[in-house]
Structure 1
Amino acid sequence: MKRTALLNAELSHAIATLGHGDMLVIGDVGLPIPTGPRRIDLALTPGIPAVADVLRVVLTELQVEKAVIASEAVERAQGRLPDWCQLPVAPQTVSHEEFKRLTERARVVVRTGECTPYANVILVAGVTF
């Protein structure tokens, strides 16, 4: 049995196979998922699981070098980072349209049940040395 917080085998495996610079997306229920990346669908019902919950657990296993969120998420939070966005690095902001284009290059897209507009984050894998 695993000792870390992440119990979902598919997501744990996906993180373990990421290399330096690979992207993992955690998205809300409405984020379009391109055909290229591996899709891990965790959505159960509206709001469950929330992006914040999935992000918190993913960060226990993934070394993050860089993060990207949509500038619209910051605008909706009145110029600050949204509450769901607890990251170990300051995120880069791009337009939502650019964010969606970046997801095409991701290795993995995790779909949550989050129903908050623009509650999406791209995590870029770093190295631990």
Structure 2
Amino acid sequence: MASLGHGDMLVIGDVGLPIPDGPRRIDLALTPGIPAVVDVLRVVLAEMQVEKAIIATEAVERHAGIQPGWSAALPVAPAQMPHEDFKRLTRQARVMVRTGECTPYANVILVAGVTF
């Protein structure tokens, strides 16, 4: 995380999110549900300035039009895009963190900001 620059993307994903060739992989999945996306998100947000967040439209649709509970930890209102587009965008990430989360569409792209 110390090497992220302005505009770099970090992805925190559920256990089923495909990780493309390219981004560095940090695999934290210990067992189903551990660690949860929200737990990893909180730790990452303590160290990262976030300019933008992106989630899949399906994550909101799955919760009857309400932001999923884990997204409340985000410091900005997340933009939304279809899951297939989301997966394509992950190819441009610097790093992808795989969690043990088993909730469908529990994935977020964080775009690094600056502190000044």
Map 1:107-122 onto structure 2 (within 5 A).
107-122=94-109
Q: CA RMSD in A?
A: 0.4
Percent identity between matched residues is 80
Q: Which amino acid aligns with 2:40?
A: V
TM-score for the superposition, normalised by structure 2: 0.98
TM-score for the superposition, normalised by structure 1: 0.88
User: Are residues 1:47 and 2:47 paired?
Assistant: no
The Cα shift of 1:17 comes to 0.4
State the distance in 2 between where 1:97 and 1:113 align: 21
The Cα shift of 1:20 comes to 0.1
User: Are residues 1:97 and 2:55 paired?
Assistant: no
User: Are residues 1:126 and 2:113 paired?
Assistant: yes
- CA offsets 1:40-96 (integer angstroms, 9 cap, x no match): 000000000000000011000000000000000000111111001121001000000
Structure 2 SS opposite 1:90: coil
Contiguous gaps of at least 5 residues in structure 1: 1-14
Aligned partner of 1:71 in structure 2 is 57
Q: Which amino acid aligns with 2:31?
A: T
Q: How many residues align?
A: 115
Larger radius of gyration: 1
Q: Which amino acid aligns with 1:51?
A: V
Contiguous gaps of at least 5 residues in structure 2: none
Moved over 2 A (4+): none
Q: Could you say which structure has the greater relative contact order, defined with CA pairs below 8 angstroms and 6 or more residues apart?
A: 2
Structure 1 SS opposite 2:39: helix
User: Are residues 1:21 and 2:7 paired?
Assistant: yes
Structure 2 SS opposite 1:104: helix
State the distance in 1 between where 2:101 and 2:77 align: 22
User: Are residues 1:106 and 2:93 paired?
Assistant: yes
